[in-house]
Amino acid sequence: MLSVSLHNIHIHAPVGLYSQEQILHNRFEVDIDVSTDLSIDNEWPLIDYTSLNTIVQHVFLKEEKLLENIVKNIFNAIKAEFPFIQKIKIKVRKLNPPMQGNVGYAQVAFES
């Protein structure tokens, strides 16, 4: 199993349900882990982590209100660019979400 990870991708974007979030933006962190089965004897595919970062950056450019949609869009874009990848794990954290109390982050994660 070949795995490539990219963690703590920092994004500042207008993602959120509330109108103030569209204006003030929120801070996000994204973790991506991808893997594929292969044998040591075969040529290994390139899983370019620069491309993974570019995918995340582009997904956050599109207007979205829900973290679930962000995760789904990242997943679909990774599958489109790297169809040979067999496992994908994505975590998106909204840092200091605008809610009562002191909350470090809200997170949506998906693994397939």
Q: What residues make up the domain containing 107?
A: 2-111
Average pLDDT of every residue of the chain: 93
CA distances (Å), 45 to each of 2, 18, 85, 90, in order? Answer: 9, 42, 10, 20
Name the pTM for this structure.
Answer: 0.92
Domains identified in the chain, total number = 1
In the chain, the percentage of residues whose pLDDT exceeds 90 is: 75
- Looking up residue 46, the CATH number of its domain turns out to be 3.30.1130.10
Per-residue pLDDT of 25-54, as tens digits, reads 999 999 999 999 886 667 777 899 999 999
26-36 vs 2-13, strand pairing mode: antiparallel
